Chains A and B, each alone.
Chain A
C-alpha cells in the first residue's frame, strides 16, 4: 500500500468502497476514473485497492465498472450514538485538525422541512372537465418582464408600448452557473439545450467565453459583485441582465472560485490572473441601498438602450418581502428569489447550512406583498433554489412564480451525483472542473440531449397536471393558490403560504 494512515489527521472515512474481488478483472477503469485518489492498482499484488479516506461517494467507479464489482456505501458511524452530537463530531474534528472552516458545495443538505412535499395539487372531477394534453392544446409560453397597468388595442394592433420581455417556451430556465464553476462542455450543453427548448441559460458571474456568444438569444448575463468578465459585448449578447445581489446557498457573502479552477481560458474570460482565487466581494460596493440599486439597474438599462429586461437576484432572507418590494420599485423587471436549498460551487459550510429562508415561504410572501402593494405587474418572479422535479415547478408557479430556474437538477441530468466536491475542482463526472482531461467526461452531444429530454419530460408532466386541474394555460395557474392544499402544516405556516389546509 502506498499510503499509511496517521492518527494526527485521522477522521473516519465517510464512505467504504467494496470490491468483489472475483468480479474484478483488473481493467483499472475505476483507477483511471477516480479523480480523488481513492482507488489504486498494486502491481505486486495484482489487486485494486481503495483508500476509503479519500472517497467522496461520487460513485464514478461503480458506474464505470464493467463487471459491477464495486459498491460504494456510506460508512456507518462507529461512535457511541448521541442524538445531540451525531454528525457534529467529525466536522468539529476537521476544524480542530486542519484549522480552517470547511468549504462545501451544492445546496443545503440538512433536514429542514421541505414545503413542496406538504402541498397537494387539485384535479377536476365531475363539476369541471379535465383536459387531455395529448389531444388538446396546452400553453406553457411565458413572458418575463414588466407588464403595463392596462393595455389599449386598436385595429392596427396593440397601442400600448410594452417593456422588453423575455419569451420562454417553457417556464424553466437554467440557473446562473458560471464558466469557471462548470466546465466548458457543460456550458456548451446548457446553451444548446436552452436554444433547442426556447428558454435561457444564465452565464453566472464568470463572464462568457467568446465561443459561447453563438448562443445569443438564449443567454441571461449576470453582473455580480466581482464584475468578472463584464463589458459591452457581454451585455449585448445577453437577452436580459441579471444583477446578483445574493445567492441562496450563501446569502451575505460573495462568490469564491478557488484558484485551482482558474485556468488559462477562465482567466481570459474573467479578465483576471491565472491561478488566483476569484473572490467577489460580499456586497456590491456601489449598492448600499435601494437607491443605489436603482442607479445600477438604470446604468445597465442605459448601457443596453432600454432593450433588455434587468433582473435582480436575491437570496431569500428574513425580510425578503420588503426587500423585493424595494427592488420592484427600484426599476427591476424581474426578481429572482433564491431559496436556501440552492446550490453553489463553493461556500463555507456554516453559511450554506444555516442561513436563508425556504423558497416556498419566500415566494408566497413576496407574491402576496407585491399584490397588496399593487406592484406585482411591474416585476416577474423567478423562483430558484431546490427545484427538484416538475411538480415543484407547478407548485412554485401556483404559489406565484412566473418561471423557475433549475441548477442542480440540470447538473444531475448531465451526470452529477451530488458528492458536494465542486469546490475541489476534481469533479469525477467532468462537470465542475477545469482540468482539461476531466472535463472531457462530459460530451456536450450527450449532455445536451439529456437536458432536452429532461425539459421535454417536465413540460409534458406540467401539462398533464395542468390538464388534470382543468387548466390549459400556465397563465391561469400562476398565483392560483386555490389549487394547492397543505398537509401536515400548522395554521401559521398555512397562513404564510396563503393556502388552505387539506379538506377545507
Chain B
C-alpha cells in the first residue's frame, strides 16, 4: 500500500498541496474555476507552520484507524484499496471521527443542507499519484510504498 510520506525538511510553506487538493476535489478540476466560480471544496491537507518548521499534514490512513472505531454507522470505512475513506451518503456529521483522530486531519464540511460531512484525504481515487504530491515543488510530499 502506498501512502503520502511527509518530509518536514523540505516543506517550504507554499500551500500548493492545499491548492492542488481543492482543484482535484472540485467539479471542474480547473484551478481558476474551482476558486472563482464553483463552491470551493475543503482542502484535505493542511500546512502547519511554526517557524522554522512547516509541514503539510493529511490523513495517515492508520492501520488501527480510531476514526473507523469511533464512527457510529460505518460511514468511515476502509475501501478496497486499503485506504480510510468516508461515505458521504451515510455520514451524519456527528464528528466522532474528529474527536478520535490523533492527527487532527479530518475536517468539518457544514455546507450540506441536512447534516455536516466529515471531509478527509481520500488519496485521490481518480489519480495514480495524489494531486498534493504532484503539486509539491520541493518533494516534501512523496507517494511511497509503506
Which A residues fall within an 8 A CB radius of B? 22-23, 25-29, 32-33, 64, 66-67, 430, 435-437, 440-441, 443, 445-446
B14-A32 in contact (CB<8A): yes
Contacts A27-B16, A29-B16 aside, 11 further interface pairs with beta carbons under 8 A come to A28-B15, A32-B13, A33-B14, A64-B14, A66-B20, A66-B31, A66-B135, A437-B51, A437-B54, A440-B138, A446-B139
Of B4-12, B60-68, B87-95, B106-114, the segment with at least 4 beta carbons within 8 Å of chain A is: B4-12
Type the 1/0 row for B6-35, where 1 means its CB is closer than 8 Å to any CB of A.
000111111110111000000000011001
B132 to chain A, nearest CB (A): 12
Given the interface pairs A33-B12, A443-B138, A446-B138, the reply to whether A25 lies near B35 with Cβ below 8 Å is yes
A430 proximity list for chain B (CB < 8 A): 12
A446 proximity list for chain B (CB < 8 A): 138-139
A477 to chain B, nearest CB (A): 39
A441-B12 in contact (CB<8A): yes
- In this complex, what residue of A is CB-closest to B31? A67
Query: DSSP majority for the A interface?
Result: loop
B19-A29 in contact (CB<8A): yes
Type the 1/0 row for B47-60, where 1 means its CB is closer than 8 Å to any CB of A.
00001101000000
Q: Is B36 an interface position by the 8 A CB rule?
A: yes
Residue among B11, B15, B54, B139 facing the most chain A CB atoms (10 A cut-off): B15
B10 proximity list for chain A (CB < 8 A): 440, 443
Q: Is B74 an interface position by the 8 A CB rule?
A: no
A23-B13 in contact (CB<8A): no
Interchain residue pairs with CB less than 8 A apart (13): A25-B35, A26-B35, A29-B19, A33-B12, A33-B14, A64-B14, A64-B16, A67-B32, A437-B51, A437-B52, A440-B10, A443-B10, A446-B139
A27-B13 in contact (CB<8A): no
A22 proximity list for chain B (CB < 8 A): 32, 36
Q: Is B104 an interface position by the 8 A CB rule?
A: no
Q: Is B137 an interface position by the 8 A CB rule?
A: yes
Contact of B14 among A25, A29, A67 (CB under 8 A): A29
Given the interface pairs A25-B36, A67-B31, the reply to whether A437 lies near B13 with Cβ below 8 Å is yes
Number of interface residues of B (CB under 8 A): 23
Given the interface pairs A29-B19, A435-B52, the reply to whether A445 lies near B31 with Cβ below 8 Å is no
B47 to chain A, nearest CB (A): 9
A440 to B13, CA, bound (A): 10
The 3 closest A-B pairs by CB, nearest first: A25-B35, A436-B52, A437-B52
Residue among A23, A435, A440, A441 facing the most chain B CB atoms (10 A cut-off): A440
B52-A29 in contact (CB<8A): no
A45 to chain B, nearest CB (A): 16
B54 proximity list for chain A (CB < 8 A): 437, 440
A66 to B19, CA, bound (A): 8
Contact of B32 among A25, A435, A440 (CB under 8 A): A25
B11 proximity list for chain A (CB < 8 A): 440
A83 to chain B, nearest CB (A): 43
A23 to B34, CA, bound (A): 12
A435 proximity list for chain B (CB < 8 A): 52
B19 proximity list for chain A (CB < 8 A): 25, 27, 29, 66
A67 to B12, CA, bound (A): 18
- In this complex, what residue of B is CB-closest to A28? B15
A28 proximity list for chain B (CB < 8 A): 15
A435 to chain B, nearest CB (A): 7
- In this complex, what residue of A is CB-closest to B137? A64
- Interface of chain B residues 124 through 146 with chain A (CB within 8 A): 135, 137-140
A443 to B7, CA, bound (A): 10
A436 proximity list for chain B (CB < 8 A): 52
- In this complex, what residue of A is CB-closest to B138? A443
A443-B139 in contact (CB<8A): yes
A64 proximity list for chain B (CB < 8 A): 14, 16, 137
A22 to chain B, nearest CB (A): 8
B12 proximity list for chain A (CB < 8 A): 33, 430, 440-441
A440 proximity list for chain B (CB < 8 A): 9-12, 52, 54, 138
A25-B31 in contact (CB<8A): yes
A247 to chain B, nearest CB (A): 31
